[in-house]
Amino acid sequence: MRRSSGARFLPMVLGMSIALAPTLAFHPADASAQEQARVASPDGRNVVTVGTRDGGLYYTVDRDGKHILLPSRLGFAFRGADSLRSGLRVTGTARASADTTWTQPWGEVARVRDHHNELRVRVAETGAPGRRFAVVFRVFDDGVGFRYEVSDSAGFADYEMMDELTEFALADNARAWWIPSRCCDPDRQERLYSESPVSRLDTVQTPLTLQTSSGVQVVIHEANLTDYAGMYLARTGDRTLRTTLARWADGVAVRGRAPFVTPWRTIQLADRPEDLAPSVLGLNLNPPSVIPNTSWIHPMKYNGIWWGMHINTMTWGSGPKHGATTANTRRYLDFAAANGLGGTLVEGWNLGWDVEWFNSGKASFSFTQPYPDFDLPGLASYARGKGITLIGHHETASMIGSYERQLDSAMALYRRVGVGAVKTGYVGDLTEQGHAHQGQFMVRHQRRVLETAARYGLMLDVHEPVKDTGERRTYPNMMAREGARGMEYNAWGGEGGNPPEHETILFFTRMLAGPMDFTPGIFDLLIKRPTGTPRGPEEARPRTTLAKQLALYVVLYSPFQMAADLPENYERQPAFQFIRDVAVDWDTTRVLQGRIGDYVIVARRQRGAPDWFVGAITDEEARTFDVSLAFLTPGRRYVAEIYADGPGASWRDNPLPVTISRRPVTSASRLHLVLAPGGGQAIRIRPAS
Ligand code: NOJ
Ligand code: CA
């Protein structure tokens, strides 16, 4: 199939290319004919060709001489102007290459190599109004990025874009792991993943992870989403996906004027699922940091007045169960300081929670006025005195006008009292004006919040965010985001909580975009009620074993990692030692074994230290693994501290048993990992003293 569709395409291309200059063809085998419009990765394996056919502009992507993307259209549709989809000609090309290595202030890896070849294709409309633009491709060994660049204002003085016509015409009916994006509920990222062939997709979110029948891993996403609308993918042909953009309330996708650039459309490519992470393609396509001094930005573990509200033992609003009281906050801060956590999040500290704020249009939060039983300045300095920080909270309920009016004074207040980080939240499907959750309006808003936070020296953790497209490179105070179903769904979510396979899919999908504030670490997995009775098997609760909760700290990367449970649930729990010990910043990351939706084993070396941490998780199946420790420094002696599923452990009816053991290891050792159904294993490997 693949071959015949390519072959059918070839004569048409060549037919057209004869009439056009410069000569452009698509068939990768025909190297001589299309030199100017072909660009390969430094290792030569990934090849992009660009050219016109019937006046339309198309690109293809090949890997190892096989089609990944068949000719896929490029262009735009506008309101009040003709589409840029036909009558196009290539007016010139330019090339560049880069090979640089840069250091992240924090991350999944310390050093990132940016090694790519670039092809810039200049395009003009043959008829009036003669609009011009360029498409720039960067081809790396780990994938392809391309974006449109418009510098000439003719026809782009004040445009209203209705659609970007960019296609991804998959050569193969690949398996896809996806979450939907439906018309009436457009932007909810907090959904369970499904798996199906591309030919069954409707409209889906990105990152979209695909596996071709020949085993190539393909991830479609975007990078540097700035002043533009978030991209979804809609299936328009059997295996063709087309960009569809989140919208303003009036239906327009993007408004602006030249000069502008679109976000990069990224196609990450790998031979095995294990090679997808850590994903740096998107980081390489974002501008370098604009924050010269990053000494105030630091990864940390934290706890918070949070889970109690989700399991209903505390409230955000005032009353007898109010969580954010001064006394309760001190208790959490004491616990954090005593256990090496860097901060305490406090939700429900500010006025506004006593109305039906959720999706009702009635929310009106104050971001500067605390409840009378919460002493903000006193607690912030109490935290500082212990060498930790309060983490502030701004739930907006997507009432953006009210938040923007208070933004400056709210951030200034945190700065003044000494709060070092803020968690924002955007519960709700649309803004109060009806703009889409990931549309240009919200992209602009969240960038404004990020810039304001940077100005006031605040680190940011965004819930219900615009998807991560690598902004942390430019703004390293952009720490974590939610943007998928996290732990909260195990408190109250439908379907009994997240299924045991959930995190084994997240690792290969959502996590490729960037860090996630998943909030692991629930120890009271049966969520006992105040009466002492646990929740029933069908009620929402974490569908994991305790050892898997620990493993999530290593598997699901975030520079902010919460110890999410109530402090009392960590008391007299030897397994809590792992949460105390685990690092949140990494020099190196290696995915040892993995299969999307089934299991994954990740090893990471702590930043600036010789310690390694290994996390292994499985879905509902019990599994055993044999793991080589060849990643350790040869000749060095280490101790492995192993937190394994205990005898009879199972997420279903016996999630708590953990066996903690120690053994000497070297780079020549192998570990035999036994994981329970819904289980995991967490290992700290430290030098022997
Ligand atoms: C949803 C967030 O994901 C959660 O962490 C938070 O507690 C609530 N919104 C309230 O802001
Ligand atoms: Ca959420």
Q: Is 517 in the pocket of ligand 1 (CB under 6 A)?
A: no
Which atom of ligand 1 lies nearest, measured to the CA of 306? Answer: 7
11 three-class SS: helix
**What pLDDT is recorded for position 186?**
52
Residue 395: CB within 6 Å of ligand 1? yes
User: Which of the four pLDDT bands, split at 50, 70 and 90, describes residue 187?
Assistant: low
Tell me, what's the pLDDT at 36? 52
What is the spatial distance between Cα 532 and Cα 565, in angstroms, rounded to a whole number?
16
Q: Residue 609 carries which side chain, given as an amino acid letter?
A: A
**586 in helix, strand or coil?**
strand
Over residues 16-29, mean pLDDT:
38
Would strands 623-628 and 300-305 be described as parallel, antiparallel, or unpaired?
unpaired
What is the separation of C-alpha 656 from the centre of its chain, rounded to a whole number of angstroms? 30
Shortest-distance atom of ligand 1 to CA 425: 11
Residue nearest to atom 11 of ligand 1 (CA): 395
- Answer whether 427 contacts ligand 1 (Cβ < 6 A): yes
Catalytic residue among 347, 471, 488, 641: 488
CA of 41 to the centre of ligand 2 (A): 38
Tell me what pLDDT residue 495 has: 86
Residue among 222, 221, 101, 247 at smallest CA distance from 160: 247
Lookup: tokens for 454: 């940077």
Whether the per-residue pLDDT at 398 is higher than 70: the answer is: yes
**Ligand 1 centroid to residue 591 C-alpha, Å:** 30
Q: Is 347 in the pocket of ligand 1 (CB under 6 A)?
A: yes
Q: Give the separation between CA 472 and CA 467, rounded to whole angstroms.
A: 12
- The residue nearest atom 2 of ligand 1, judged by CA position, is 463
State whether the beta carbon of 585 lies less than 6 angstroms from ligand 1: no
CA of 437 to the centre of ligand 1 (A): 16
Is 326 a residue whose pLDDT tops 90?
Answer: yes
Where do the H-state alpha helices sit in 129-270? none
- Whether residue 222 contacts residue 266, with contact meaning beta carbons closer than 8 Å, is answered with yes
Instruction: For ligand 1, say whether the CB of 470 is within 6 Å of any of its atoms.
Output: no
Task: With a cut of 70, say whether residue 374 has pLDDT above it.
Answer: yes
Cα–Cα distance, 624 to 599 (Å, whole number): 10
DSSP 97-137: EEEEEEE-SSSSSSEEEEEEEEEEEEEEESSTT--EEEEEE
* Shortest-distance atom of ligand 1 to CA 395: 11
- State in Å: Cα 467 to ligand 2 middle: 13
The residues whose Cβ lies within 5 A of ligand 2, an ion, are 463, 482
How many A from CA of 329 to the centre of ligand 1? 18
Closest-approaching ligand to the CA atom of 190 = 2
Query: Which of 22-31, 92-101, 436-445 is least confident?
Result: 22-31
Q: 546-599 pLDDT, tens per residue?
A: 999 999 999 999 999 999 999 999 999 999 999 999 999 999 999 999 999 999
Output the six-digit token pair for 127. 């008829």
The angle that helices 440-455 and 400-417 make with each other, rounded to 10 degrees, is 10
Q: Compute the distance from residue 444 Cα to the ligand 2 centre, in Å.
A: 20
Query: Can you list the domains of the chain with their CATH numbers?
Result: 12-172+234-264 (2.70.98.10), 289-476 (3.20.20.70), 484-689 (3.20.20.70)
Nearest CA to ligand 1 atom 7: 306
Q: Does 463 sit in the ligand 1 pocket, CB within 6 Å?
A: yes
The string of pLDDT tens digits covering residues 630-655 is 999 999 999 999 999 999 999 999 99
425 lines ligand 1 (CB under 6 A): yes
Whose atoms come closest to the Cα of 306: which ligand? 1
Q: How many angstroms does the Cα of residue 460 sit away from the middle of ligand 1?
A: 14
Mean pLDDT calculated for residue range 482-496 = 94
Contact (CB, 8 A) for 507 and 277: yes
501 is catalytic: no
Q: Is residue 482 within 6 Å of ligand 1 at its C-beta?
A: yes
